[in-house]
Structure 1
Amino acid sequence: MFDRVRNVDGGRAAVYAEGGTGWSGVRGKRVLVTGGTRGLGEQIVRLLSAEGARVATCARTARDLEELTASLDTETFTRPLDVTSPGSLEDFVVATAKRFGGLDGVVACAGGSRGGGIEQAAPDDWAATWEVNVGHAARLVRAAVPHLRAAGGGSVVVISSISGWKPGPPAQYGVAKSAQIHLAASLARELGPDNIRVNAVSPGSMLIPGRRWDRMRREDPEAFAHFVAAELPGGGPVAPQEVARVVAFLLSDWSSGISGAHLPVDRAQNAPSPDGY
């Protein structure tokens, strides 16, 4: 399953997925991924597509979805939508199941945070952060359950974060991510009788082009080196492709015995940011 190894600046080797590997784990699986045009979500979509899954994904920007599908060799069902908009996500789940003839898995990858520290973040910031993380994940699972049940069972992966149990500001983000971990464990117990597995994956700091850690690495290499030395014993941030491989495994039948689990993918990272601990 591991096809290529590439070095990450400032860190040790990281595994990247480029093209199919012949692994049969998700071949033919029908999977919906939210937030699939950037960062981790994009890498999940690319890996699943390369390994033979039928993939649907959504994002807020139609152009991003068009660029993604144009770059893939396989058909991908997409729809521009806001996962926090009532009914939009649920309608997309129904449309995906109709398009694919059912569903075998869903990945709640869309997320984010709004507002700053406790004195700056308004109640609306807390509510918005909760909704895009916990609310959207719960609504995705609720909408998918009838289709997963009809398929004889399936797999749900909720993308949380190490911020969900390793403290660091902003608090509203960590609280929401902590709730996602609990959500996965609780739903695993509730949906187990239907042969529906639910797991949470918590990435550590990821090196994504143009995002926080990549900008720090380029703009303030001294601060980046200090962060790596203090908090990242693995020698650098985890690559999103490494996290995507864990998600693909959890969607596959190879992980049939795993449910209710919380899997950190962080190379033993300590604090989630230079502001933590």
Structure 2
Amino acid sequence: MKQTTPSAGEFAGRRIVVTGGSRGLGGEVVRRLLANGARVAACARTSESLDSLRRSLGVGDELFTQPLDVTDPELLERFVESAAAVFDGLDGVVACAGGARGGSITEATAEDWALTWALNAGHFARLTASATPLLRASGGGSIVVVSSISGWKPGPQAQYGASKAAQLHMVSSLARELGPYGIRVNAVSPGSMLIPGKRWDRMRQQAPDEYQRFTAEFPGRELVTPEEVADVIAFLLSEQARGVTGVNLPVDRGQNAPTPQGY
């Protein structure tokens, strides 16, 4: 079978920022990049989660970490600048942090909408804006945002899907805007990921019948894993994807509806 993921050492010398990088998909991305020789700067909400990541990896100066809230533009920009100062430059960015708050359209408050937007579209915009001059100084680079199939497959809640759809539009626009500087911009859109201890894993253990009904949304009856999504993110960051920009690449095992509630 033809190899589609970077070989060991392919990212040697590369300097990459990952937001939301302490656990789940973000933690897997950090592991994958470090294993392939990159120097990685990761941020997350708490220092405890970042300390746990460092202990689990057993790494040293090749990992730079900083706790922060990505919805704070000043802190986010300062983190990117600090990472570039520590690593003497920047070659890639992964916007992995995200989330949602609030319920249905009649339940969600204006604050819920604003926070969800800030977590997804706003964070991606500020991360890209702060990283762009640094990537240009390095001769170009790759930006990857973790969006979602909810960005075009409708399901609850609307504020989450709308913010993810905004990310996908931004990718198309930014790929054209930043292309002349040698900067590629792409999106990876995971389906429902089976992450230990998270929503779908809890459903599998606590409500197995409901979980089995949900798997009918997947042709192969299996949810996608963080490792599978991280493989694709690594590909888009690598030189193997040097001809790829402005793309939204779903990694969802062919998932239909994005939630058990359907469309």
TM-score class, shorter-chain normalisation, is over 0.9
1:251 aligns with 2:237: yes
Deviation at 1:25, TM superposition (A): 3.2
1:179-229 CA distance string (max 9 Å, x none): 001111110000000000000100000000111100110001111111102
Give runs of aligned pairs for residues 1-277 of structure 1, distance below 5 A.
22-75=7-60, 76-229=63-216, 231-277=217-263
Secondary structure of the corresponding residue to residue 117 of structure 1: coil
Distance in 2 (alpha carbons) for counterparts of 1:99 and 1:88: 16
**Residue 22 of structure 1: how far off its partner (Å):** 4.4
Shift of the 257–2 alpha-carbon distance from structure 1 to 2, 3 Å rule, reads closer
Q: Is the 8 A contact 2:191 2:251 kept in 1?
A: yes
Partner of 1:9: none
Q: Distance in 2 between matches of 1:25 and 1:121?
A: 45
Whole-Å Cα distance in 2 between the matches of residues 176 and 33 of structure 1? Answer: 19
Partners of 1:188 and 1:116 in 2: how far apart? Answer: 33
Identity across matched positions, percent: 61
CA distance in 2, matches of 1:25, 1:141: 24
Instruction: State which drifts further: 231-240 or 157-166.
Output: 231-240
Cα distance, 1:53 vs structure 2: 0.6
Gaps of 5+ in 1: 4-16
Does the Cα contact within 8 Å between 1:97 and 1:147 map onto a contact in 2? yes
The answer to whether the 8 A contact 1:25-1:254 is kept is: no
**3-state SS, counterpart of residue 219 of structure 2:** coil
Q: Is the 8 A contact 2:22 2:53 kept in 1?
A: yes
The letter for the 2-side match of 1:143 is S
Q: Secondary structure at the match of 1:115?
A: coil
SS in structure 2 of the partner of residue 198 of structure 1: strand
SS at match of 2:73: coil
What's the TM-score, normalizing by structure 2? 0.96
Distance in structure 2 (CA, Å) of the matches to 1:127 and 1:276: 25
8 Å contact kept, 1:234–1:269:
no
Counterpart CA distance in 1 for 2:111 and 2:48 is: 28
Contact 1:33–1:109 (Cα < 8 Å) also in 2 = yes
Cα distance in 1 for partners of 2:73, 2:241 equals 32
8 A Cα contact 2:9 2:35, kept in partner: no
Q: CA RMSD in A?
A: 1.6
Rounded to whole Å, the distance in 2 between the matches of 1:42 and 1:117 is 30
Task: Report which stretch shifted further, 73-82 or 28-37.
Answer: 73-82
Q: When the two structures are superposed, what TM-score results if normalisation uses the length of structure 1?
A: 0.91
The letter of the residue matching 2:165 is S
